[in-house]
Structure formats: structure tokens, C-alpha cells
Amino acid sequence: MPLIAMRSVVDAAVVDAAVDSDWLGWAVVLGPAATLCAGAIAGAVAYAAIAQRRRADAKAEWWRRTQWALDEVLTGAPERRRVGVAVLYRLAESELATPDDLEVFDAAWGLLLGVGGPVASAAPAPSATETTAARGRVLTDRRRGRATPEWVERIAAGSAALEGADERV
């Protein structure tokens, strides 16, 4: 058989196979659906990446504010210390505060309240800063599932009595 005749037989067989299997019809139907699925998957991945980036940015800003508040607590100036403690308390309430972050807050509350707490009979009335620090300790203990010492709860409960009291810290 001549080469040209052989080629026409092979081409005819390919065309017959394509028409008989109907795969081309399915490819035409499923092609747009596959493109749509690929686009949806790419969109979901992009959305997840953007959401993760926004959360990371929010956490970075939260930590910058925490550092600022800790600096204010450590300055020693009473007004700045009071503002720093109030900001720390609000930051401890945030959902961005992880259990490890709450350890940092506990260290700050301990610094402000003293490690063992005041001696009940000899301790002067707690300052507004100490009361806020005690409230912060109660908050972080509750979020971490820990028991708060009674002396800290007493200081935290005394916040209403301290309204208008002079600041000692």
C-alpha cells in the first residue's frame, strides 16, 4: 500500500475513534466547569491568605500597643503608670491575647501588686493603679482557667471604693 493511502486510513481511524468515543463533547461541556472550579479554588486560597495577613497585622499592632503600655507602667510617673495599666487591662481582654501573652500580663500584674500581695492588717488602701492591676490579674486568671488568690480578688473588688481616692503609685 502506498504511503499516502496508509496515511488516509490512519486519519480516518482517528476521526472515527473521536466521533465514536464522544470525548470531545464531554470536554466541551466540562471545560468551563473545570475553569470555574479552578477559579473558585484560587479565590478561596487568596481569601485565606488575605485573612491570615490581616490577622498577623492586627497581632503586630496589638503587640506594639502592649509594649507601649508596659513601657508606661515602668516609667514610674503616676499618671503615665495609671494609663499604662488601664491600656494593659484592655489589651488583656482582646481575643488576640494568647496564653503566652497572658503570662506577660501576669508578670506585669505581679510587678504592680507585689509577688505575695499586701499584708492584710498593715497594708494601706490600694491605689487605683493597683486595683486595675488586680482586675487585670482576675481577668487573665479567668481566661487561663486558673484560680485567683483571694487577696487579689479583694483588691479588684475594691474599685468602687477607690473612685476619687488619691493615687499613691
pLDDT tens per residue across span 150-163? 888 888 887 544 44
- Crossing angle of helices 23-75 and 78-93, in 10° steps, is 150
Query: What distance in Å separates the CA atoms of residue 127 and residue 59, rounded to the nearest whole number?
Result: 31
What H or E segment, with its residue span, contains residue 74? helix 23-75
More confident residue, 13 or 147: 147
- The amino acid present at 28, given as its one-letter code, is V
| DSSP 8-state symbol, 95 | T
Q: Could you tell me which of 133, 89, 136 has the C-alpha nearest to residue 111?
A: 133
Mean pLDDT of the chain: 78
pLDDT in tens, 44-87: 999 999 999 999 999 999 999 999 998 988 887 888 888 888 99
- pLDDT value, residue 160: 47
| Residue showing cell 500581695 | 117
